[in-house]
Amino acid sequence: MHTKKGLLQQRKTGDKPVWKTVSHKIKTVCIFISWPLLITLHSILTALLNGILIKRYSGDEGQNIKHPSMFLGFGSLHYSLIRNIKPKHILCIGSRKGFVPSILALACQHNNFGHVDFVDPGYDIRNKGKNWSGVGFWKKPLAKYHFQTIHLQQWISLYVMTTEEFILSHQKGIYEYIYIDGDHSYEGVKKDFMLLWPKLRKHGLMVFHDVVAKGTLDNGKFGVKKFWKELKIKEKIIFPFPKTSGLGIIQKIYL
């Protein structure tokens, strides 16, 4: 039996004005169209950002990047480690024009947490045997604005100095993630390790670039491979590719 109230309610919901039904249909169609559209848009924006990271910040094959697909190679490895670990303090030693440091800072921005201390004395070919493909970029006046291009300035600080100078002036710093890509000689990388291992928090990660690199570069003899081989730490992970560089990771299990 229909009551007067029930009939009134049915009329309210059943007899929708035509414009309301049409707008509802448009909304439904939009939702279905916009998902693929949004996904495409997202892929385009990601490729654009990756393109900037590779070109402006000088990512190269040594970082296992792939140009046509704008794949970030080892950069994506750093990014996902930082997104997962969410470290408060990150230290990055050495970079030609900021490829790895910018990715570390980007991951902090996406975490909305953490900060990168980036250290490089800005050596170039005039510093014979010490620049390791460095082009003196960090000594240029504009270098301090370099990370502003993709709004990362809040997440990264630049220190134009060597590892040793940095440690002397920042004695209290402790890090959960340390990336070493500075002095690639055997003595140089060993020194960085000795200086920085005490600065790594328990369960923190220390990452080395060029653990399989051989020969010489800009008058310097690669020694990271020898150092890596000698390193007596059980928790060692190696990505021995590309053959010209490679990446090694160790974890500090015991203090």
Ligand X SMILES: C[S@@+](CC[C@H](N)C(=O)[O-])C[C@H]1O[C@@H](n2cnc3c(N)ncnc32)[C@H](O)[C@@H]1O
Site residues, ligand X (CB under 6 A): 60, 62-63, 93-96, 99, 119-123, 130-134, 162-163, 181-183, 209
Q: What angle do CA 77, 81, 84 make, to 5 degrees?
A: 140
Contact 112, 154 (CB under 8 A): no
CB-count exposure of residue 37 (10 Å: 0-12, 13-18, 19+) = exposed
Q: How far is the CB of 98 from ligand X (least distance, A)?
A: 8
Q: How far is the CB of 209 from ligand X (least distance, A)?
A: 5
SS3 106: helix
Return the residue nearest ligand X (CB atom): 134
Q: Which is nearer to ligand X, 137 or 155 (CB)?
A: 137
As a whole number of angstroms, the distance between CA 254 and CA 190 comes to 19
Q: How far is the CB of 45 from ligand X (least distance, A)?
A: 24
Q: Which is nearer to ligand X, 130 or 199 (CB)?
A: 130
Q: Which is nearer to ligand X, 123 or 155 (CB)?
A: 123
Q: How far is the CB of 220 from ligand X (least distance, A)?
A: 9
Q: Which is nearer to ligand X, 5 or 134 (CB)?
A: 134
Q: Which is nearer to ligand X, 120 or 176 (CB)?
A: 120
Sign of CA dihedral 240, 214, 245, 86: positive
Unique residue bearing structure tokens 């460095």: 134
Q: Which of 45, 249, 204, 210 is nearest to 114 (CA)?
A: 204
Q: Which is nearer to ligand X, 89 or 191 (CB)?
A: 191
Q: How far is the CB of 246 from ligand X (least distance, A)?
A: 11
Helix axes 99-111, 18-56, angle to 10 degrees: 150
Q: How far is the CB of 99 from ligand X (least distance, A)?
A: 5
| Token pair of 97 as six digits | 């024009």
CB-count exposure of residue 10 (10 Å: 0-12, 13-18, 19+) = exposed
